[in-house]
């Protein structure tokens, strides 16, 4: 039995689907009772609901589990403490494999949510568990949040310079890589950087969207103040907003660039290009 946490989120759902297709037995940990049936419909054999910040929830979720795929909610301020709780429970329950969904470049203190993941990685190295760490780049799927303005105005708004380079990766490739390390041997002790095959500027990304969605699209930088206003009115909490603004500031200075080599090796094929992904989600 493989426990997948954060199971009702976009990463969790993608991982469950691939594991279920491979015939793996999955138990899903979700936050709310209403999320139990949807994750079972995706292929989870069992599902439990609870707050992953609580040790008792982990103890219940981990009973008779051999491996864990731990996905912490995005930008959770207690990610380090949650990771430590998860590791303590995993040791107590005799779990043999622990795979952690981290992020590309967790070594970056300027991005608080990356830095918190590094602390979890450190605890994992010292846990004595058989571990694998996956470090995904920003998902291509994040672009879908801008779909409405792209379709209605032909504008792809980004809160950093349009020359900023990102090695975006297809979440479907990440889910497939997660299934490989969870169901095949030989990945114990590994830390895998999982980036897409190209580091595109936002101008290049807009051009790929334009070609695939058959409409003119241009990338436009919006100010941090404008982005903050939009994010707050969309209901994002102040902690999340400030964390994301620090990430955008980092992107503006350095981009977020990784290599697609490990993903290519794990999947046994080239990772999905941004152009191909855009075509796959064209309406
Ligand atoms: N997006 C990217 O580009 C990217 C790139 C690399 C790494 N990552 C990492 O991937 C991870 C997952 O991101 P995601 O976008 O898939 O997340 P997500 O869609 O926000 O899903 C998180 C899930 O966790 C649940 N949850 C929240 N608090 C919980 C709690 N206390 N106990 C149990 N469950 C709880 C949420 O439930 P509700 O539905 O009730 O809120 C949601 O279903 C994050 O750690 C993120 O940093 C993301």
Instruction: Determine the distance separating the centroid of ligand 1 and the alpha carbon of 21, expressed in angstroms.
Output: 22
3-state SS track over 40-71: HHHCCCEEEECCCCCHHHHHHHCCCCCEEEEC
pLDDT band at 283 (very low <50, low <70, confident <90, very high): confident
Ligand 1 site residues (CB inside 6 A) read 6, 8-11, 31-32, 51-53, 71-74, 101, 103, 113, 136, 138-139, 142
What is residue 152's three-state secondary structure?
helix
Q: How far apart are CA 265 and CA 159, in angstroms?
A: 33
As a whole number of angstroms, the distance between CA 141 and CA 148 comes to: 14
Residues constituting the chain: 283
Average pLDDT over residues 244-256: 98
Residue nearest to atom 9 of ligand 1 (CA): 74
What is the percentage of the chain residues whose pLDDT exceeds 90? 99
DSSP E strand stretches across 102-249:
130-136, 155-158, 190-194, 218-221
| Domain 2-137+170-196+259-267 = CATH 3.40.630.10 | no
Element (H, E) at 192: strand 190-194
| Number of H-type helices and E-type strands within the chain | 12, 9
Span of 14-18, 66-70, 147-151, 258-262 with lowest mean pLDDT:
147-151
| Residue 282 alpha carbon to ligand 1 centre in Å | 25
Token digits of residue 15: 């991982």
- Confidence class for position 31, pLDDT limits 50, 70, 90: very high
According to the model, what pLDDT value does residue 163 have?
A: 98
Give mean pLDDT, residues 90-115. Answer: 97
| Mean pLDDT of the region 214-231 | 96
Residue 129: strand, helix, or coil: coil
- pLDDT in the model for residue 266: 98
Domain parsing of the chain, residue ranges:
2-137+170-196+259-267
pLDDT at 4: 98
The C-alpha atoms of residue 218 and residue 207 are separated, in whole angstroms, by 7
Closest residue by Cα to atom 18, ligand 1, is 9
229 confidence band (pLDDT: 50, 70, 90) = very high
Over 90: is that where the pLDDT of 73 sits? yes
Which ligand 1 atom minimizes the distance to the CA of 73?
22
What is the pLDDT, as a whole number, of residue 117?
Answer: 98
């Amino acid at each position: 039995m493989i426990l997948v946490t954060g199971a009702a989120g976009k990463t969790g759902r993608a991982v469950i689907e691939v594991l279920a297709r491979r015939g793996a037995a999955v138990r899903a940990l979700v936050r709310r009772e209403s999320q139990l049936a949807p994750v079972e419909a995706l292929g989870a054999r069992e599902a439990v609901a609870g707050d992953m910040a609580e040790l008792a929830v982990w103890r219940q979720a981990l009973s008779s589990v051999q491996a864990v795929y731990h996905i912490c909610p995005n930008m959770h301020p207690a990610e380090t403490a949650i990771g430590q709780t998860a590791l303590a429970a995993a040791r107590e329950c005799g779990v043999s494999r622990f795979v952690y969904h981290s992020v590309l470049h967790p070594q970056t203190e300027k991005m608080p949510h990356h830095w918190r993941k590094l602390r979890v990685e450190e605890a994992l190295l010292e846990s004595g568990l058989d571990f694998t760490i996956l470090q995904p780049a920003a998902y291509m799927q994040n672009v879908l949040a801008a779909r409405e303005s792209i379709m209605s105005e032909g504008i792809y708004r980004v809160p950093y310079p349009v020359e900023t380079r990102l090695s975006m990766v297809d979440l479907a490739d990440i889910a497939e890589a997660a299934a490989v390390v969870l169901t095949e041997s030989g990945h114990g002790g590994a830390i895998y950087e999982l980036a897409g095959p190209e580091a595109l500027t936002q101008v290049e990304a807009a051009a790929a969207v334009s070609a695939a969605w058959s409409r003119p699209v241009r990338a436009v930088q919006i100010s941090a103040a404008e982005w903050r206003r939009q994010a707050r009115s969309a209901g994002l909490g102040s902690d999340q907003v400030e964390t994301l603004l620090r990430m955008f500031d980092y992107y503006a200075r350095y981009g977020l660039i990784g290599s697609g080599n490990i993903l290519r090796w794990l999947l046994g094929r080239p990772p999905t290009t941004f152009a191909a992904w855009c075509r796959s989600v064209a309406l």
